[in-house]
């Protein structure tokens, strides 16, 4: 598979993983983005062995441990939009992660999670 074909595969995967909320950047816009789209979304997210939901939960665990609320928002919203997690499951993720990632890191995700859940419910209404 050529780099351009892998990029196209990665771009489709990125848009599917993020429920079209995060558009793939145009190929050639930056070396970093090209590499990320080709590798992370064209090779890693598309592998067999784990579902997208399983991969997302692993990613969310890492993000939570870092206390990265902005990235958590994207993952949580995408999980809801794709039907991988519901509001109850997102709240359970917070509870499960707190003793492992640390309450200070997780506390900043609680409000973000509730905002994402409210936004999702509003879109569905």
Tell me the pLDDT tens digit for each residue of 12-64: 999 999 999 999 999 999 999 999 999 999 999 999 999 999 999 999 999 99
Average pLDDT over residues 79-96: 98
Mean model confidence pLDDT for the chain: 96
pLDDT at 61: 97
Nearest to 60 by CA among 88, 20, 97, 23: 97
| CA atoms of 25 and 111, how far apart (whole Å) | 29
pLDDT at 41: 96
Tokens matching residue 54:
């399983």
Q: What is the pTM of this model?
A: 0.91
Average pLDDT over residues 94-109: 96
Query: Do residues 61 and 94 make contact, with C-beta atoms less than 8 angstroms apart?
Result: no
Confidence of residue 1 (pLDDT cuts 50, 70, 90): confident
Coil vs helix vs strand at 119: helix
| CA atoms of 82 and 75, how far apart (whole Å) | 10
Residue 125 has pLDDT above 90, yes or no: no
pLDDT at 120: 97
């Amino acid at each position: 598979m050529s780099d351009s074909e892998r990029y196209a595969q990665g771009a489709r995967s990125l848009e599917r993983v993020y429920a079209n909320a995060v558009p793939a950047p145009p190929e050639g816009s930056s070396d970093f983005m090209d590499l990320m789209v080709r590798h992370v979304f064209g090779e890693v997210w598309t592998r067999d062995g784990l579902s997208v939901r399983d991969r997302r939960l692993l990613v969310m665990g890492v993000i939570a441990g870092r206390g990265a609320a902005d990235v958590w928002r994207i993952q949580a919203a995408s999980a809801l939009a794709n039907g991988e997690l519901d509001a109850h499951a997102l709240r359970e993720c917070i509870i499960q992660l707190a003793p492992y990632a640390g309450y200070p890191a997780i506390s900043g995700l609680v409000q973000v999670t509730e905002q994402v859940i409210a936004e999702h419910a509003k879109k569905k209404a």
